[in-house]
């Protein structure tokens, strides 16, 4: 089983905290591209900055983090404010991060604007109907992965669990919603691997959703999820997307979760990268809380 995602890599190595900090510092420095020596300003050529980042990332520390960074390099906002739309009257985030820009660069966060999120109704892990309209007034973090957890699930599921913990008391204002992407395994329950493997059973406001393939296909299409089925039952692939929906039901931003797939088809990501991505999810969701 494979997951279609440009961020996947066969190199499982990650960056040290020091190297990651250097990457983020370089990304933030690119907005000014100058350094001060005494009282004199010296312009730093853009190529110098780019090759400095290359030196940090490539010399023995490749992998999914490096590739993901280069896909998002240059797209970071110039101001240290959330790039996703903040609902009028939203209080400032109470969470603490290295810098919000760095987190957004790391997760590849991209603004959508104020488009209305396509509505849908599916069935959750308890057998109860759930609709996007029922979540109005709360932030929705919308994820997509397989119910049998043989794709990005172990990585993204863990990030969701940690993000919920990171949110603290505000976790009750955020719904974490996971839509099943496996047309061959549409039955779900509290014991589904999609919940059990990443230990999501105790996450408040968690919704694992599934339904008829025709209904699921409509949701996949509306949210740009491409699901491909191979000759064998477990040969299912899909691209990885993560959406942030505002309390007013608007699509605010999206990201592309990533991980490393080994030859057995299992996904993993270094603990520090998982923690950082989880913090980025929490920060982005918290910026939308009313």
Predicted local confidence at residue 264, as pLDDT = 76
Predicted local confidence at residue 213, as pLDDT = 96
Predicted local confidence at residue 100, as pLDDT = 61
Predicted local confidence at residue 261, as pLDDT = 85
Predicted local confidence at residue 137, as pLDDT = 95
Greater model confidence, 8 or 127: 127
Domains of the chain (ranges; CATH) run 79-288 (3.40.30.10)
Q: How far apart are CA 162 and CA 12, in angstroms?
A: 21
Apex 158 CA angle, 279 and 185, nearest 5: 135
Whether 160 contacts 275, CB under 8 Å: no
- Given a cut of 50, whether residue 226 has pLDDT beyond it is yes
Q: What is the pLDDT of residues 246-259, one digit of tens each?
A: 999 999 999 999 99
Predicted local confidence at residue 46, as pLDDT = 47
Q: What is the pLDDT of residues 1-30, one digit of tens each?
A: 544 443 343 333 344 545 544 544 444 443
Predicted local confidence at residue 180, as pLDDT = 96
Alpha helix (H) ranges present in the chain?
17-29, 46-58, 64-72, 100-107, 153-167, 193-196, 213-222, 271-288
**27 φψ region: left (φ > 0), alpha (ψ -120 to 50), beta (else):** alpha
**Per-residue tokens: 258:** 């990533």
Q: What is the pLDDT of residues 258-282, one digit of tens each?
A: 999 888 778 899 999 999 999 999 9
Predicted local confidence at residue 271, as pLDDT = 94
Burial environment of residue 200 by CB neighbours within 10 A (0 to 12, 13 to 18, 19 or more): buried
> Model pTM greater than 0.75?
no
């Amino acid at each position: 089983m494979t997951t279609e995602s440009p961020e996947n890599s066969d190199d499982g190595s990650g960056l040290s905290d020091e190297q990651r900090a250097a990457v983020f510092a370089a990304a933030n420095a690119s907005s000014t591209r100058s350094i001060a020596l005494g009282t004199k300003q010296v312009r730093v050529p853009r190529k110098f900055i780019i090759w400095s980042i290359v030196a940090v990332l490539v010399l023995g520390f490749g992998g999914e983090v490096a590739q993901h960074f280069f896909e998002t390099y240059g797209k970071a906002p110039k101001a240290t404010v959330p790039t996703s739309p903040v609902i009028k009257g939203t209080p400032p985030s109470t969470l603490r991060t290295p810098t919000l820009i760095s987190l957004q660069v790391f997760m590849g966060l991209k603004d959508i604007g104020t488009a209305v999120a396509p509505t849908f109704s599916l069935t959750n892990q308890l057998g109860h109907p759930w609709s996007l309209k029922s979540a109005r007034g709360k932030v929705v973090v919308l994820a997509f992965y397989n119910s049998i957890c043989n794709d990005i699930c172990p990585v993204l599921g863990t990030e969701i669990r940690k993000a919920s913990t990171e949110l603290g008391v505000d976790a009750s204002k955020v719904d974490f919603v996971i839509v099943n992407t496996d047309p061959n395994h549409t039955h779900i329950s509290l014991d589904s691997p999609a919940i059990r493997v990443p230990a999501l059973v105790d996450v408040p406001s968690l919704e694992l959703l599934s339904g008829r393939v025709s209904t699921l296909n409509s949701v996949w299409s509306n949210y740009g999820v491409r699901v491909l089925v191979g000759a064998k039952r477990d040969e299912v692939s899909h691209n990885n997307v993560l959406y942030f929906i505002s309390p007013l039901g608007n699509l605010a931003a999206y990201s592309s979760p990533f991980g490393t797939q080994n030859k057995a088809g299992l996904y993993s990501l270094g603990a520090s990268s998982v923690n950082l991505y989880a913090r980025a999810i929490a920060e982005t969701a918290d910026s939308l809380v009313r």
